[in-house]
């Protein structure tokens, strides 16, 4: 199946899920899905070449640039989520942003240091693959979804599309040099980030607990 066809199916699935949330009067989730994916997904994807040239011009196509952009996008995503009334990892916004970014270092770092240098992706494949770990991040954070098949069907397109949108800006600073085009790239892209993030979650919780901050 062509990657463009996969994306069409996923986006239709995503739209159906948003309609379900609208009917269920979950307007905060519905609004977040529309606003965030359009502002940080559709628009930067359309102008990705111009964005990449701009980042090269201001020398952000580097280690520091990648993680700076990744942090800024994390802050924007969590702030939009918070302001729209959605649940975030921690109710104090600045703590939430730092916590989420620290955990997502496994996701961003795996792409910067390994996946982009080892595996060959087209643009559409890269954005799809980068969003897949989002499903695992959300399932780990909300394991009740696993007990509900309908919950899985709803969470999958929502998480994968939103995480793909989050990754578009950082991806424009990456220098892709991988040559391996085997099917294993999809498994690595999905499971390596979460494998690296799990110990980071433990470290984050321990550090926060030392400072009297408890994450439930």
Flag whether 182 is in a domain: yes
pLDDT at 133: 92
Contact between 103 and 164 (Cβ < 8 Å): no
Contact between 81 and 122 (Cβ < 8 Å): no
Name the β-bridge partners of 119.
180
Domain span holding position 153: 3-210
> What's the rounded Cα separation, in Å, for the pair 119 and 51?
23
Flag whether 215 is in a domain: no
Cα atoms found within 13 Å of the Cα of residue 59, Cβ hemisphere only: 1
Residue 121 — φ and ψ, nearest 5°? -130, 140
Q: pTM of whole model > 0.85?
A: yes
Flag whether 88 is in a domain: yes
Contact between 203 and 167 (Cβ < 8 Å): no
pLDDT at 110: 96
Residue ranges, the chain, pLDDT below 50: none
Q: 195: which 2 tokens? A: 């494998």
Flag whether 205 is in a domain: yes
pLDDT at 163: 95
Q: 138: which 2 tokens? A: 């959300």
pLDDT at 146: 63
Please spell the DSSP secondary structure of 84-99, one letter per residue.
TT---SSSSHHHHHHH
Flag whether 216 is in a domain: no
Q: How many structural domains compose the chain?
A: 1
pLDDT at 142: 66
pLDDT at 196: 93
Give the other-Cβ count within 10 Å of 203's Cβ. 12
How far apart, in Å, are the Cα atoms of 38 and each of 34, 45, 175, 215? Answer: 6, 10, 25, 31
Flag whether 66 is in a domain: yes
């Amino acid at each position: 199946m062509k990657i463009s066809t996969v994306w069409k199916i996923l986006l239709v699935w995503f739209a159906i899920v948003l309609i379900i949330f609208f009917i269920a009067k979950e307007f905060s989730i519905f609004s977040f899905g529309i606003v965030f994916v359009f502002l940080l997904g559709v628009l930067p994807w359309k102008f990705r070449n111009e964005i990449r040239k701009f980042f090269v011009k201001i020398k952000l196509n580097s280690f520091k640039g990648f993680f700076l952009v990744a942090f800024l996008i994390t802050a924007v995503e969590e702030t939009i989520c918070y302001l729209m009334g959605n649940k975030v990892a921690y109710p104090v916004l600045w703590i939430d942003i730092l916590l989420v970014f620290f955990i997502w270092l496994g996701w961003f770092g795996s792409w910067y240091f390994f996946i982009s240098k080892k595996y060959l992706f087209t643009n559409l494949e890269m954005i799809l693959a980068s969003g897949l770990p989002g499903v695992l991040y959300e399932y780990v954070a909300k394991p009740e979804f696993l007990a509900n098949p309908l919950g899985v069907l709803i969470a999958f397109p929502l998480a994968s599309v939103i995480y793909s949108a989050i990754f578009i800006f950082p991806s424009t600073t990456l220098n892709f040099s991988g040559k391996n085009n085997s099917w294993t790239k999809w498994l690595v892209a999905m499971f390596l980030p979460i494998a690296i993030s799990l110990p980071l979650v433990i470290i984050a919780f321990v550090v926060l607990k030392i400072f009297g901050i408890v994450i439930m």
